[in-house]
Structure 1
Amino acid sequence: MYSLEQIRKGLRYPAMAEREMHYQWQRVRSVLPHDIGIQGSYRTGNIGDRALGRTFSGKLSAMGYRPRTFGRNTEYSRAPVHILGGGGVLHDWYGTDHLRQRLNFVSEGGAVIGVGVPGFKTTEGRELVRSGLSDVELVTVRDKWSRDRLAPHYDGDIHVTACPTLIRHDPDVPSSGRTGVNFRQWFHLDPEIMSYYFDYDGVTNFNRAQDRYLANITRICEELDDPVFIPFHEKDETFAHEHLDIEVLPYEFSVRKTLERVSSVDRMVATRYHSLVFATICETPALAIAYEPKVSSLADRVGVQSYKPHTSIPVEFDSIANRDDVRRTAERNFRLLDDICLSE
């Protein structure tokens, strides 16, 4: 029960009340009956992360289990099986507290499914991974780049699969005849982080590189007929209004709506990783701007040319290849999970 003063404080500060309600809901969720607990960054406002959470819940429910998704700071669930599910979650670029929490969630026989691994620069981070994954039953990663980053710190089998979201289906929305674009803020991190975790060792002037990126996205929009900006995060919408003179669709925290938007366009300029994932699902011809290696890795798998943000970028689109093969590879995440962790 809350005191009268606590209630008054909540009325004065709605954001504080909202956080408290979220915290209490997380406590309730942790004890509701469920077979599988899934931890990830599913409520941060990122459509790609939300798609991962919805995909895990939907697929595992269809398989006959009772899953529950939890936020990235959750370390406990009453479920007999714990999953660290999707996203670029294994890294230490902003410290090790979050890494410890994630590993604690799966440290006793759980599974790490379809994740990205930017890497571990600190000794503490590397030691955490070695110890935290030592009893994990199954590890799958979304690309070979992640496998290569994880392999020096984990002795078990690492299965290269694909992003779990790729099992979703095209909503097959009628064509609008337009070209969708998605750009995000880039070079907002420390140059040392960009170099180590995202393969930008050759960049000597990050301010100049950012200026080139902004010039690139302006030119791309000028060369396109009737472009429309599709945000995958509320920050995307803010960024687009600040730097572009095109129609910007309002951000909606909806996987269904965003997937329908990508399905409706004839071509897609994809910067965020999941904007390319959604283009792949919809077989929308794409041009990929690989601000991180995860984007170029997926682009290579589906036959789409990719370019780093500050390099010369021709406005040319490639048809999506191998969509069904990539989808089957993504489905393998759940087959392995069922065979190794869920079957008695």
Structure 2
Amino acid sequence: MHIVLSGYYGFDNVGDEAILFSIIQSLRKLQPDIKITVLSNNPKKTSETYDVKSVGRNSINKIIQALKKSDGLISGGGSLLQNKTGHFTIPYYLGIIKLAKLLNKPVFIYAQGMGPINGLLSELLVKTTLNKVDQITVRDEASQHLLNDIGIKQPAKIVPDPVLGLDPHDYKHNCQPINELNQEEFITVSVRNWHTKYPFNEKLAHCLDLLVKDGYGIVFVPMHGKHDKIKSQEIAKIMQEKSYISPADTSLQSKISLIGESKLLIGLRLHSLIFAAINYTPFVAISYDPKIDAFASLCEQPIGGNVESDNWNGQTLYQQVKNMLSSYKRNTDILKEKVQVLQHQARETPELALSVFFKRHSPSL
């Protein structure tokens, strides 16, 4: 069997790379001889990293040839069908799906977060395209409701983010923040740049300073290469106390392990929260998007503030963290109970995908 994977791959965004890694791992676990071609912004690196075939995500002729030789397309996961990050995002991913359907290939929508979909034309494009795919899975109720509202006929099944299916216990990190900070316990921090009229750098820096005075080390974990590294450096410079920024170019397995070794995570990036969750490491989220609120609620972990609101500060965030630490075992037990269910469910999604392709399976050309 030969499957083509389409998503936001090859851009050095650890969250999306973790999605890709988890989908590949789960498919190979069920079907060891499966052939996988990934549409990537950096085909050479993707091919070397995941031991797959990869073609340029904008190389139309190569994409067509890959689809022709395949038994189907997986679109996702991640937030692909939305126009918040750009006007060409929705047309691009729908275009890949349309190509697959024109070639009479089955299409499986894999744990996508849908929306926002702004504009009647975008809604119409999504509606007409998704009504022709073979199965849709989404990662939250909001995505399910959105598809219903715009007129998607077939039901969209809610499944967990693919990364929740990873087993982190064999992963090791290759940095030594504890030794550098001379503190026994440390708290990891994942930040991202976000344009808002309520700057949050000072709030977060104040909270982190208070935690250092309590005896905790602070370790920033950049999830999107140099972009998050720059934001981490901005906050670290505001801090009065010492902190550590882990290397931006370490593997996603290293980042998962590092977050897993920490006492608690403070995070803006969704997949930093997911990395914490699969390690059963408690977290306090800082929200910039409903998907952060949804995941925190799913895991019964608190929101320390929203970047679009001014109703929180460094002291209130610090108090949220202290509350989590003061009831540490209880909060860890709650998280473990919630996440174990999600982990089991996440490992069922690749079975759904393969069942779609087996129904239409024929020898590859």
> Is the shorter-chain TM-score for this pair beyond 0.5, marking a shared fold?
yes
The TM-score with structure 2 as length reference comes to: 0.74
The separation in 2 between residues aligned to 1:96 and 1:303, in whole angstroms, is 34
Do the aligned residues in 2 keep the contact of 1:60 with 1:67 (CA within 8 Å)?
no
Q: 1:96 Cα deviation (Å)? A: 4.2
The DSSP-based 3-state class of the residue aligned with 1:36 is strand
Do the aligned residues in 2 keep the contact of 1:56 with 1:85 (CA within 8 Å)?
no
Question: In 2 relative to 1, CA 95–236 (structure 1 residues): closer, same or farther, beyond 3 Å?
Answer: closer
Do the aligned residues in 2 keep the contact of 1:166 with 1:281 (CA within 8 Å)?
yes
- Indicate yes or no: 2:350 matched with 1:334: yes
Q: Show the 5 A alignment for 1:174-185.
A: 177-185=185-193
Do the aligned residues in 2 keep the contact of 1:276 with 1:288 (CA within 8 Å)?
yes
Q: Deviations over 1:274-312 (max 9, x none)?
A: 000000111111111121111111111111112323432
- Indicate yes or no: 2:240 matched with 1:243: no
Q: 1:118 Cα deviation (Å)? A: 2.2
- Indicate yes or no: 2:24 matched with 1:49: no
The DSSP-based 3-state class of the residue aligned with 1:257 is helix
The separation in 2 between residues aligned to 1:287 and 1:294, in whole angstroms, is 14
The separation in 1 between residues aligned to 2:86 and 2:149, in whole angstroms, is 20
The separation in 2 between residues aligned to 1:111 and 1:143, in whole angstroms, is 17
1:243 is aligned with what amino acid? I
Q: Which runs of 5+ in 1 are unaligned?
A: 1-33, 188-205
The DSSP-based 3-state class of the residue aligned with 1:171 is helix
Given candidates 107, 110, 122, the residue that maps to 2:107 is: 110
Question: In 2 relative to 1, CA 95–269 (structure 1 residues): closer, same or farther, beyond 3 Å?
Answer: closer
Equivalent position of 1:4 in the other structure: none
Question: In 2 relative to 1, CA 130–169 (structure 1 residues): closer, same or farther, beyond 3 Å?
Answer: same
Q: Deviations over 1:224-265 (max 9, x none)?
A: 221111110121111111222421111025111111111121
Equivalent position of 1:160 in the other structure: 158
Q: Which runs of 5+ in 2 are unaligned?
A: 42-56, 179-183, 325-330, 361-365
The DSSP-based 3-state class of the residue aligned with 1:92 is coil
Equivalent position of 1:121 in the other structure: 118
Q: 1:158 Cα deviation (Å)? A: 0.6
Q: Show the 5 A alignment for 1:195-274.
A: 206-207=196-197, 209=198, 211=199, 213-224=200-211, 225-234=216-225, 235-244=227-236, 245=239, 246-274=243-271
Do the aligned residues in 1 keep the contact of 2:82 with 2:89 (CA within 8 Å)?
no
The DSSP-based 3-state class of the residue aligned with 2:84 is coil
The separation in 1 between residues aligned to 2:207 and 2:143, in whole angstroms, is 30
The DSSP-based 3-state class of the residue aligned with 1:106 is helix
The count of residues paired between Structure 1 and Structure 2 equals 290
The RMSD of aligned alpha carbons is 2.1
2:130 is aligned with what amino acid? L
The separation in 2 between residues aligned to 1:293 and 1:115, in whole angstroms, is 14
Identity across matched positions, percent: 20
Q: Deviations over 1:65-97 (max 9, x none)?
A: 222221274553331210112111111235543
The separation in 2 between residues aligned to 1:36 and 1:335, in whole angstroms, is 14
The separation in 2 between residues aligned to 1:229 and 1:215, in whole angstroms, is 15
2:187 is aligned with what amino acid? T
The separation in 1 between residues aligned to 2:125 and 2:250, in whole angstroms, is 33
Q: 1:101 Cα deviation (Å)? A: 2.1
Given candidates 268, 290, 293, the residue that maps to 2:290 is: 293
1:166 is aligned with what amino acid? L
Do the aligned residues in 2 keep the contact of 1:47 with 1:253 (CA within 8 Å)?
no
The separation in 1 between residues aligned to 2:210 and 2:143, in whole angstroms, is 35
Question: In 2 relative to 1, CA 94–261 (structure 1 residues): closer, same or farther, beyond 3 Å?
Answer: closer
- Indicate yes or no: 2:26 matched with 1:59: yes
